[in-house]
Structure 1
Amino acid sequence: MSSYEARFKVWRGDAEGGGLEDFEVEVNDGEVVLDIIHRLQATQVPDLAVRWNCKAGKCGSCSAEINGRPRLMCMTRMSVFERDETVTVTPLRAFPVIRDLVTDVGFNYAKARQVPAFVPPEGLGPGEYRMMQEDVDRSQEFRKCIECFLCQDTCHVVRDHEENKQAFAGPRFLMRIAELDMHPLDAAEEAGLDRKRTAQDDHGLGYCNITKCCTEVCPEGIRITDNALIPLKERAVDRKYDPLVWLGSKIRRR
């Protein structure tokens, strides 16, 4: 097994402030950035704060920005960097720093609570739901989300404009609304809930300008923009501005 000394810059500090610190640390074949952060903890900075759990790309805990790009540390192999390249690791920029690489992502859980849950169809009990396989597949793509919040972090509506957070749910939760809105068994409309209208009026769908940056950083490869946000926008616009759709919705309610 070959090894070499790599140069790292790691952000250290807390809510009051901080900055990048330089380190030289051993790297071995096959290692990922999280391995190096653990080695730093073990050999040089035992009080370095970092959030992690599974180390398998499934819990979403170890989100950070590596050379300025939102990534999972456990899924970023050291082999993607040149050996003489300095690797910079900083906390997620869109959320408040707690300490070092750990950020307060409570914003996302607050937004999750604002999305109305699946409304079961009347007259059907658990185990009686039936769906076409293509509908199952459509929803299943979105359910691969591990809630790493990299899409939330890279979305410039949240990242660059703190003032938008009150009105904008972000791509992860607009994707959740899209999944429920296209779910053939969701009885939201029968219960008086218009998911398309709430997406537009309550969750800030109009703020999204489909730059696809959320899709580009998704470690699960979910096509957030193409398969969730754009279709949701199309349906919301139809509901709000197409006179025939609007008239049809009024007739159905009667």
Structure 2
Amino acid sequence: MSYQANLRVWRGDDDGGALQEFTVEANEGEVVLDVIHRLQQTQAGDLAVRWNCKAGKCGSCSAEINGMPRLMCMTRMSTFDPSETITVTPLRTFPVIRDLVTDVSFNYEKAREIPSFTPPKELQPGEYRMQQVDVNRSQEFRKCIECFLCQNVCHVMRDHEENKKAFAGPRYFIRTAELEMHPLDQADRRDLAQDEAGLGLCNITKCCTEVCPENIKITDNAIIPMKERVAGHRYDPLVWLGNKLFRRP
């Protein structure tokens, strides 16, 4: 079964643009990305859209569909009524390059600021041993496909461009938590998370968790535990007393 889908797609670049209306054929079982590709093929050959795997694993086709950050390849057309107009716009938090393609280089800059995995010097690859519960915790965080939907929806950056300099965002709180909770990692990233990554700016509204296509419990399993670790490190009176008694920095 096919029908004519009504689309409104943002066209433009960093100098500005506008929503344009199109009517495009849609078929049973298709996703939004299929219809965007058909629009490219039949009416707007110069439409810029980023995609790769079409299987929900590369994170490339992130966009805002009717105002909700989603993967276009994982959003079925059957989600919408055939008479409904579907609005597709680029991620709002990042600068637009052209049409639906945004400049997400901010995220890679933040990634480089996080110290890498630091195992004990006496252990060689192949000698690492971990409890299964620790493996499971890391595996959840490693499911991240870097679609940056969580970064896009986080209002700390979305509504306040000036915060980007001092705020890494939920994707990099996941990465910091993964390393900080790793039983073999020797680096201490708690001060970095608070002072340089802006962990304290997060007010745990869970909007990042709601849009994660991999269903990572970003807030409950990464951000809140990291806040607890920072608070214990800095403000626990017993820790403070121990540091004074044993003259630890």
Deviations 1:108-159 (A, max 9, x none): 0000000111111120000000000000000100000000000000000010
Aligned mates of 2:61, 2:33 — CA distance in 1:
8
TM-score normalized by structure 2? 0.98
Runs of at least 4 residues off by over 6 Å: none
The residue aligned with 1:174 is 173
SS of structure 2 residue aligned to 1:89:
strand
The residue aligned with 1:35 is 34
Aligned mates of 2:118, 2:33 — CA distance in 1:
40
Distance 1:149-1:21 versus aligned 2 partners, 3 A rule: same
Aligned mates of 1:200, 1:176 — CA distance in 2:
14
Q: Is 1:67 aligned to residue 66 of structure 2?
A: yes
TM-score normalized by structure 1? 0.96
Q: Is 1:198 aligned to residue 198 of structure 2?
A: no
Offset of residue 246 of structure 1: 2.7
Aligned mates of 2:41, 2:221 — CA distance in 1:
43
Taking only aligned residues, the RMSD between alpha carbons, in angstroms, comes to 1.1
**1:1-254 alignment runs, 5 A limit:** 2-188=1-187, 194-249=188-243, 251=246, 253=248
Offset of residue 201 of structure 1: 0.7
Can you give the 5+ residue segments of structure 1 that lack an aligned partner in the other structure? Answer: 189-193
SS of structure 1 residue aligned to 2:78:
helix
Offset of residue 242 of structure 1: 1.1
Residue identity in the other structure for 1:25: V
Deviations 1:63-109 (A, max 9, x none): 00000000000000000101111000000000000000000000000
Can you give the 5+ residue segments of structure 2 that lack an aligned partner in the other structure? Answer: none
Offset of residue 247 of structure 1: 3.1
Aligned mates of 1:16, 1:182 — CA distance in 2:
43
Residue identity in the other structure for 1:84: S
Offset of residue 197 of structure 1: 1.2
SS of structure 1 residue aligned to 2:165:
coil
Q: Percent identity?
A: 74
Aligned mates of 1:145, 1:174 — CA distance in 2:
12
Aligned mates of 1:185, 1:252 — CA distance in 2:
25
